[in-house]
């Protein structure tokens, strides 16, 4: 019994220390291992399987909108990076440089890809000649390197996996339409697959992507009340095209600059999954993203017929869900703890007494609710239960998010709310960056977005300076 308790006791309570709880879950659920390279992580099979599911479903949704996958080089010549002034200034502090090839100094430094706008522009310059070549709607799945000072597994690391879409269009209207379309793809994916509610909106001028005309974002709220940017989509206008001379001959036989977009999401979505749904026993994975949706655990598997029946049940259920059997020699209690730690949505228990009654026990990971089900009905009951769990997890996360949205109409209330009520704060803003800077410096909160679907005029004045307000902004401390 002592050994069985040890697995869960190794996790710090999230109420005691949320940051340590997160680290404990990431390690004990065997999602990652630390590497000998500071700030870089090894993604273990359990963690990579989640990323594969994210990648598979997101890629399917991308392609439904006409996206094609490509791959561009890892290295960017310094001269190419320097062509877009705002862009290079935005990324300069995080760039890693290659200065030698073997033992020989390079004639020109090479940047290790922090993002690929410059390479796509260089590619499009030669690939696009006429309006007949447009639109170009490309995406690449790759790794990037950003030399972060402070790192945390999945949330912020020096190398991480992501996808980055890069599109080119003939008109500003087409580019804007694609920018919003891809943000909605991200939002729908997060809500429908990750069971994670998000707020869709536009970043302020201060917070937008370096070199972009406009940046749109989806913002999620973690269990501890901090925000997490979970996907962004950028409208570049023709700024990058002008810097890199990406032109095309239009139908009227005039030379014009293309209008571009870029959009990306990363392995930080795994961190979001952990922090939105996890509990003190470990991961709680929504069924639609869980690599294993049901674990069959035989009870007293040495008893006659139990293991054979458990394998038969596994084979039957494999037609309707992702299922595995734990037929190891560990005790049932230890197996239960492992299943809970890994966040597997359903546990199926089957022992000698269950065989006598032609039944099994199904246990939900999210609520720990038990139900007795006839073995004759499992192929019907299990898929229905998985859908119920998916829906319930989203509704719980949304209820938690909505219960942690606060309004502030003056600065004293705003500061008090930041300190004592974790979550999103709705506050009016005058549009002056000086107010954003003051709020961040004095409270640690940043503007998360100007929401698309919520522009209620909760006050006539800016929450910081008291001048006439222009926009409602969601503020909050963030990862």
Residue 93's pLDDT band (boundaries 50, 70, 90)? Answer: confident
- Asked whether residue 95 falls in the same domain as residue 237, the answer is yes
pLDDT at 277 over 90: yes
Structure token pair of residue 389 = 């769990």
The domain tally of the chain equals 3
Segment 147-175, tens digit of pLDDT: 998 899 999 999 999 999 999 999 999 99
> Final residue of a domain: which of 252, 277, 302?
277
Does residue 313 share a domain with residue 209? no
Residue at token pair 């996958």: 69
Of 277, 306, 337, the position where a domain reaches its end is: 277
Q: Is pLDDT at 17 greater than 70 in this prediction?
A: yes
180 and 253 share one domain? yes
Note the pLDDT of residue 82: 86
Q: DSSP letter for 299, please.
A: S
Residues 439 and 336 in one domain: no
Q: What is the pLDDT of residues 56-68, one digit of tens each?
A: 999 999 999 999 9
401-422 tens-digit pLDDT: 999 999 999 999 999 999 999 9
Judgement on whether residues 231 and 315 belong to the same structural domain of the protein: no
Q: Is residue 283 part of a domain?
A: no
Q: What's the whole-number average pLDDT of the chain? A: 95
| Same structural domain, 208 and 315 | no
Domain annotation covers residue 285: no
CATH (domain of 466): 3.30.110.30
Identify the pLDDT of residue 5. 47
Last residue of a domain, one of 329, 350, 385: 385
Condensed to tens digits (0 to 9), the pLDDT of residues 99-122 reads 999 999 999 999 999 999 999 999
C-beta of residue 351 within 8 angstroms of C-beta of residue 342:
no
Task: Give domain status of residue 284, yes or no.
Answer: no
The residue segments making up the domain with residue 23 are 14-277
Asked if the structure places residue 1 within a domain, the reply is no
Residue at 447 is within a domain:
yes
CA 362 to chain centre: 30
pLDDT tens per residue across span 169-215:
999 999 999 999 999 999 999 999 999 999 999 999 999 998 899 99
Is residue 441, in this structure, part of any structural domain at all? yes
The CATH number linked to 381 is: 3.40.50.800
Q: What is the pTM of this model?
A: 0.95
Does residue 334 lie in a domain region?
yes
Question: Is residue 160 domain-shared with residue 251, that is, in the same domain?
Answer: yes
What pLDDT was estimated at residue 440? 98
Domain match, 212 and 63 both = yes
**179, two tokens:** 């920018």
Q: In the β-sheet with 424-429, what is the strand arrangement from edge to edge?
A: 68-69, 136-145, 159-169, 259-266, 227-237, 214-221, 199-202, 446-451, 471-476, 424-429, 405-407
Looking at the structure, do residues 63 and 167 belong to the same domain, yes or no? yes
- Please tell me whether residues 170 and 40 are part of one structural domain: yes
- Residues 432-445 have a mean pLDDT of 98
State whether 227 and 334 are in the same domain: no
| 203 vs 225: CA distance, rounded Å | 20
What confidence tens digit (pLDDT) does each residue in 25-43 have? Answer: 999 999 999 999 999 999 9
How many other C-beta atoms lie within 10 A of the C-beta of residue 40?
Answer: 14
Residue 3 pLDDT: 45
396 belongs to a structural domain: no
Assess whether pLDDT exceeds 60 at residue 8. no
**One domain, residues 313 and 190:** no
The domain that holds 239 is classified in CATH as: 3.30.930.10
pLDDT tens-digit series, residues 215-272: 999 999 999 999 999 999 999 999 999 999 999 999 999 999 999 999 999 999 999 9
């Amino acid at each position: 019994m002592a050994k069985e308790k040890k697995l869960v006791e190794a996790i710090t309570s999230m109420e005691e220390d949320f940051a340590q709880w997160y680290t404990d879950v990431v390690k004990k659920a065997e999602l990652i291992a630390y590497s000998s390279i500071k700030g870089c992580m090894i993604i273990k099979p359990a963690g990579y399987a989640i990323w594969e599911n994210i990648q598979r479903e997101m890629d399917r949704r991308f392609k439904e909108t006409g996206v094609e996958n490509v791959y561009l080089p890892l290295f960017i010549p310094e001269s190419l990076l320097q062509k877009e002034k705002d862009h290079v200034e935005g990324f300069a502090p995080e760039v890693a440089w290659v200065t030698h090839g073997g033992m020989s100094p390079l004639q020109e430094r090479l940047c290790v890809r922090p993002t690929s706008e410059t390479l796509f522009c260089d590619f499009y310059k030669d690939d696009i000649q006429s309006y007949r070549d447009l639109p170009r709607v490309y995406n690449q799945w790759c790794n990037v390197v950003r030399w972060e000072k402070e790192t945390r597994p999945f949330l912020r690391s020096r190398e991480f996996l992501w996808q980055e879409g890069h599109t080119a269009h003939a008109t500003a209207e087409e580019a804007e339409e694609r920018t919003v379309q891809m943000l909605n793809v991200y939002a729908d994916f997060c809500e429908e697959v990750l069971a994670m509610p998000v707020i869709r909106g536009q970043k302020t001028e201060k917070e937008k992507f370096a070199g972009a005309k406009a940046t749109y974002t989806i913002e999620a709220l973690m269990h501890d009340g901090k925000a997490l940017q979970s996907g962004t989509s950028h409208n570049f206008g023709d700024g990058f095209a002008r810097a890199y001379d990406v032109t095309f001959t239009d139908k009227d036989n005039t030379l014009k600059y293309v209008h571009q977009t870029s959009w990306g999401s990363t392995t930080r979505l795994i961190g979001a999954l952990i922090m939105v749904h996890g509990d003190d026993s470990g991961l709680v994975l929504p069924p639609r993203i869980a690599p294993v949706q049901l674990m069959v655990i035989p009870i007293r598997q040495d008893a006659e017929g139990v293991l054979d029946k458990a394998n038969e049940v596994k084979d039957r259920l494999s037609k309707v869900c992702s299922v595995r059997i734990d037929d190891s020699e560990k005790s049932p209690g230890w197996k239960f703890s492992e299943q809970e730690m890994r966040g597997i949505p359903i546990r199926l228990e089957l022992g000698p007494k269950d065989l006598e009654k032609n039944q099994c026990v199904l246990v939900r990971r999210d609520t720990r609710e038990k139900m007795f089900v006839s073995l004759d009905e499992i192929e019907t009951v299990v898929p229905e239960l998985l859908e119920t769990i998916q829906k319930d997890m989203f509704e719980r996360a949304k209820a938690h998010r909505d219960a942690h949205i606060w309004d502030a109409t003056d600065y004293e209330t705003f500061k008090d709310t930041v300190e004592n009520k974790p979550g999103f704060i709705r506050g009016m803003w005058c549009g002056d960056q000086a107010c954003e800077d003051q709020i961040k410096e004095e409270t640690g909160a940043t503007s998360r977005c100007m929401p698309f679907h919520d522009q209620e005029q909760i006050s006539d004045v800016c929450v910081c300076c008291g001048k006439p307000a222009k926009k409602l902004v969601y503020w909050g401390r963030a990862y």
